[in-house]
Amino acid sequence: PLTPTADVMSSARRGRRAVGAFNVITLEHAEAVVTGAEAAGCPVICQISENAVRFHDSRLAPIARATAALAETAAVPVALHLDHVTDEALLRRAADCGFGSVMFDASALPHAENVAATRAAARWAQAQGLWVEAELGEIGGKDGVHAPSARTDPDQARDFVSVTGVDALAVAVGSSHAMTTRTSRLDHGLITRLAEAVPVPLVLHGATGVPDVELRQAVAAGMVKVNIGTALNAAFTGAVRDTLAAAPTVVDPRPALTAARRAMADAVTSALRTLSGGGYG
């Protein structure tokens, strides 16, 4: 069923597990996330990012409502999250489209402006019943520039959460967005210190670059939401490429999309097994 993000997150935190949050771009991505989560028997978060909305000509409702409809009939809890929102106008459309949560991302702004913008966004969104994530420390790679050396300071993180009132915090601990190799080393000591300093769940972005063994350690140290996008696109696009290459005159897109959806669902299932530590049996 479609489930509030807050509920999925609090039960994961109680169970010392992490919830996989997977980027949805097309309907087939959403189907793959739900099917993959059902196969793993795990709750899951479908997240639609601001740049995916831009891909849909800035229309939020069609892809959001389709994903919410898939969630409603899913055999596992499925939450719907609006990711990396920088545009306040988009934020204001979230509540009407089935989202249980938003990530408001002002991390590229100077610190004082990040605090002020996040505080205002969180206040508005929470009044609509939305669970709010924000980012401190600017995790790199969103602009194609990897900055795995960025780090979030635990004392600054504690103050940021208390002033802004956010429900979860994305932190810079060594990962970077859009990595196509799994070479990222995380700063596990820092994750532990952040988890002690901050009263809300921590979120790991750019988890594609992180090997499974590091992911498990990160969950043990206190990561509760783990965002994966690029690895799923690699599986999806790779299957499209292989299917079309094997049948160069094919016209119907469905064989390629069927293979893509299956490859992505398998990637979701295996990521969820890593993150849940087998905790859902």
Using CB under 5 A, which residues numbered 212 to 271 contact Zn ion?
Answer: 227
Q: Does 228 bind ligand G3H (CB under 6 A)?
A: yes
Q: Does 146 bind Zn ion (CB under 5 A)?
A: no
Q: What's the min distance (Å) between Cβ of 47 and ligand G3H? A: 6
Q: What's the min distance (Å) between Cβ of 227 and Zn ion? A: 5
* CA pair distance 221, 201, nearest whole angstrom: 11
* CA pair distance 263, 191, nearest whole angstrom: 31
Task: Figure out which of the listed residues 13, 17, 177, 225 binds ligand G3H, where binding follows CB under 6 A.
Answer: 177
* CA pair distance 136, 243, nearest whole angstrom: 41
Q: Does 117 bind ligand G3H (CB under 6 A)?
A: no
**Binds 67: which of ligand G3H, Zn ion, none (CB < 5-8 Å by kind):** none
Q: Does 23 bind ligand G3H (CB under 6 A)?
A: yes
Q: Does 152 bind ligand G3H (CB under 6 A)?
A: no
* CA pair distance 223, 202, nearest whole angstrom: 5
Q: Does 205 bind Zn ion (CB under 5 A)?
A: yes
**Nearest CA-CA partner of 260 in 232, 219, 220, 280:** 232
Per-residue contact string for residues 64-93; x = within reach of ligand G3H by CB under 6 A = -------------------xx---------
* Strand 19-23 to 78-85 pairing: unpaired
Q: What's the min distance (Å) between Cβ of 79 and Zn ion? A: 16
Phi/psi for 31 (5° steps) reads -60, -40
Segment near ligand G3H (CB under 6 A); pick from 107-115, 200-208, 247-255, 261-269: 200-208
* CA pair distance 76, 73, nearest whole angstrom: 9
* CA pair distance 52, 29, nearest whole angstrom: 11
Instruction: Report CA torsion sign: 21, 25, 30, 31.
Output: negative
Rg, C-alpha atoms of the chain: 18
Contact between residue 212 and residue 219 where contact means Cβ atoms under 8 Å apart: no
Q: Does 227 bind ligand G3H (CB under 6 A)?
A: yes
Q: Which residues are catalytic?
A: 83
Q: Which is nearer to ligand G3H, 3 or 233 (CB)?
A: 233
Which residues of this protein are in contact with Zn ion, per CB under 5 A? 205, 227
Q: In the complex, which residues of this chain contact ligand G3H (CB under 6 A)?
A: 23, 83-84, 177-179, 205-208, 227-231
